Amino acid sequence: MDKLVIEGGISLKGTVTVSGAKNSVLPLLAACLLTNERCRIKNVPNLRDVNTMIKILRSLGAQAEFSNGEVTVEAKSLKSHTADYKLVSTMRASFCVLGPLLGRLRKAKVSLPGGCIIGLRPVDLHLKGIMALGAKVEVQGGYIVVEAKELRGASMYLGGGFGSSVLATDNVMMAAVLAKGKTVIESAACEPEVVDLANFLNKMGAKIKGHGTPCIEIEGVRHLHGTDYHVIPDRIEAGTLVLAAAITQGDCVIKGAFKEHLGALLDKLNESGVKIEDADGGLRIKPRKTLKPVNFTTLPYPGFPTDMQAQVMSLMSVTPGISVITEKIYPDRFMHVAELHRMGANIMREGPHAIISGKKSLSGAPVMASDLRASAALVLASLVAKGRSEVSRIYHLDRGYENLELKFQKLGARIWREKE
């Protein structure tokens, strides 16, 4: 098991490029199951989650090869409709094979998913949409078993208690592209990764419109064909790199950081006083010694992303004044608070609220990552902390960030990987 060792206190400087979006790549790989022709996906990050999804595709009978940032998938014939617990339990996004398996084979058996421990994340919206298309659903021994003689388009509302669901929208969209007739998804997720999937499916021959809005319309087609596709940059990695420059008072160009994908985050950083300029193919973050605290609430896109909550908390921990963060997507997503306390942060938790009293500095300490985005938050805090920090359990980090320590090294950070 690896850990990251970080000697803080260095202002980051230079240029770095954002990798492809993990949360786009995973459903795109699953969507390759919808055709028996070859698909080639470019700009794919080399991550644990990506390699897990490739293993799942192979276990189902597809041929899948990953080399030099490209994945080639050919699912001429599928030998199984079962996504095994041993693989699905390690990564929640793997549940998105449910829709394409049902669309292609009219049956699927997928283990209930796992992933980061950040609170309850039910699959009820997935099943609501699948049943609306005419599938029968059962739970058997920890597996979701779905079957349909035929799938028919339907109108459905996929809003939940915490808003829309990206994976549920993905699953229903992938099942509906091969259904008979028209499907309308109300309260669909609007995230750029959903748009990316819809664009990929349309390039395969699907008929989808309205993606990027709360109402997606899908006209079913008889079959899909193979295609080549280039994945969008990862907006969460982009935001994390932007925050790394801000928290260290650095001067960095983040290529692949797109304003249109980062609106809510950039708005709060502007409010705080972070200096952000357009740069060729991305954004430039310039040093600003004095920042102001901000309050925000996580919401479905285009609201403030829950996947950036922990990282901004690190920035607010060294921003003088009182900040209040309200987590409305996953109210229990505060596992990083206790570890930030170990570094000297002053944070009080009150239900779904975190109240941060910013300090001038943090101190290096050994800390332990609990989930993917908490890992990133602890790395950001370590970059600015006085002294040496060690971030353990970074296998979480490796699930969602490609060579993050190498990117920080390129910007001048003293950060390296060691065996625990």
Active site residues: 116
Count CA atoms closer than 13 A to 343's CA, side-chain side: 38
CA distance 348 to 337: 8
Q: Please state the three-class secondary structure of 319-376 as a single string.
A: CCEEEEEEECCCCCCCCHHHHHHHCCCCEEEECCEEEEEECCCCECCEEECCCHHHHH
Environment class of 277 (CB within 10 Å of its CB; exposed 0-12, middle 13-18, buried 19+)? exposed
CA distance 58 to 110: 15
Are 310 and 270 in contact by the 8 Å Cβ rule? The answer is no
Helix (H) or strand (E) holding 418: strand 414-419
Nearest Cα residue to 345 out of 371, 372, 325, 365: 365
Structure token digits, residue 208 = 């989808």
- C-beta atoms surrounding 12 within 10 Å: 25
